[in-house]
Amino acid sequence: MTKVDLIDELSKVANLTKKQSEAIVDTVFESITEVLANGEKVELRGFGSFRIRRRRARRGRNPKTGALVSVPAKRVPFFKVGKQLRERVNL
């Protein structure tokens, strides 16, 4: 399912225009992004939670040349599946 498919489904189910549905979907995604950027977590009961994980700096290797490179520390988004979603997928 793509973002466009999600917008189409929302417009059908909620009887909204595609423009209204797009605004809702964009608002949800933007809100999740903002919360994660601030270092907080987003929890959607039964679905899962989004968090930020910190990766330490490390030494890596350039696959093309084999030379050692320094990989800086960074923050990456992480999704943990909720119990209800996990059970539904594993029927």
Given this model, what pLDDT does residue 73 score? Answer: 96
CA dist., res. 38 & res. 48, Å (int): 19
Residues 11-36 pLDDT 10s: 999 999 999 999 999 999 999 999 99
| Per-residue pLDDT, 91 | 81
Query: Can you give the pLDDT at residue 79?
Result: 97
**Average pLDDT taken over every residue of the chain:** 95
Cβ burial of 21 (10 Å; 0-12, 13-18, 19+) is buried
Distance separating alpha carbons of residues 77 and 36, to the nearest angstrom? 7
For the chain, give the percent of residues with pLDDT over 70: 100
- DSSP letter for 25, please: H
Domains of the chain in sequence order: 3-89 (4.10.520.10)
**Mean pLDDT to the nearest integer, 45-64:** 95
